[in-house]
């Protein structure tokens, strides 16, 4: 995964102007919730630092942000406003490996975070076993009772996406389409084509909902709560229902929430 994102780097930020991305941002803010009390946040798969910056602006006391791609972390560090530098720490690491806790910025940080956020991490797990390793790090990071918020694919509608999918033509105006590359044990290997300038693409995995649930529970987390990302009234009024209809027919994104039990 690092190699494909090392080649994308700062170009990934061009997605943020797309309405399909903006509806994700709205729902992420709502489901992350308020920062009315000081909260330490760990962001996994932080990319170029968009949500790290957002969470500081929303009131997080400190965000530690991790990504596997050195190019993404370099872009994130350069994009961080000077006034946020004391409240955000970026570091390189593989979110599925247990050794992220053995050195660097995360050493001695197990069990110290109020909130773990992961936008587009879980969909890079090629199997349930790999996803469980991701959830094990989420569990390790959180204080008892801590909250996890993860933006990922809408796993419940996996079978609406198939190889040589004719519906992709109806979704190009949204800015991204999913191309199914082949089957894996728990779902599909998939490529996202983003019609930015220049066009970028990356591969990920579209796994079934029960894989997510088993991975979370296997790691010790609570039951997953799924929230489908949909355009709100404001977005529908702005662009029209016809613009959104193909997305409403098969909404691609969802946000899953879980908590670490109060007692281990």
CATH 3.20.20.60 for domain 2-159+208-259, yes or no, is: no
- Report the distance separating Cα 162 and Cα 104, nearest Å: 42
The pLDDT tens digits of the residues spanning 43-72 come to 999 999 999 999 999 999 999 999 999 988
What residues in the chain have per-residue pLDDT under 50? Answer: none
Position 150 scores a pLDDT of: 99
* Structural domain spans, the chain: 2-159+208-259
Question: Degrees (nearest 5) of the Cα angle 103, 35, 217?
Answer: 60
Please tell me the pTM assigned to this model: 0.93
The CA-based diameter of the chain, rounded to the nearest angstrom, is 51
The pLDDT tens digits of the residues spanning 199-230 come to 888 999 999 999 999 999 999 999 999 999 99
Position 104 scores a pLDDT of: 86
Cβ atoms of 137 and 100 closer than 8 Å: yes
């Amino acid at each position: 995964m690092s190699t494909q994102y090392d080649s994308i780097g700062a170009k990934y930020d061009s997605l943020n102007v797309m309405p399909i991305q903006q509806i994700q941002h709205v729902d992420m803010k709502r489901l992350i919730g308020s920062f009315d009390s000081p909260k330490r946040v760990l962001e996994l798969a932080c990319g170029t630092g968009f949500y790290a910056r957002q969470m500081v602006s929303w009131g997080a006391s400190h965000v530690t942000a991790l990504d596997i791609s050195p190019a993404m972390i370099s872009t994130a560090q350069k994009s961080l406003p000077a006034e946020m530098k004391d409240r955000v720490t970026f570091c390189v690491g593989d979110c599925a490996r247990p050794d992220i806790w053995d050195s660097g910025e995360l050493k001695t940080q197990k069990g110290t975070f109020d909130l773990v956020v992961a936008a587009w991490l879980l969909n890079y797990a090629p199997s349930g076993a790999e996803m469980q390793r991701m959830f094990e790090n989420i569990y390790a990071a959180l204080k008892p009772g801590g909250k996890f918020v993860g933006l990922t694919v809408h796993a419940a509608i996996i079978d609406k996406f198939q190889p040589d999918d004719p519906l992709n033509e109806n979704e190009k105006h949204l800015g991204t389409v999913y191309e199914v590359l082949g089957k894996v044990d728990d779902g599909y290997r998939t490529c996202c084509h983003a019609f930015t300038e220049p066009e970028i693409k990356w591969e990920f995995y579209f796994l079934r909902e029960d894989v997510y649930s088993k991975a979370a529970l296997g790691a010790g987390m609570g039951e997953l709560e799924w929230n489908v990302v949909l355009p709100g009234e404001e977005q529908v009024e702005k662009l029209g229902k016809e613009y959104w209809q193909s997305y409403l027919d098969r909404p691609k994104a969802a946000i899953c929430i879980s908590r670490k039990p109060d007692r281990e």
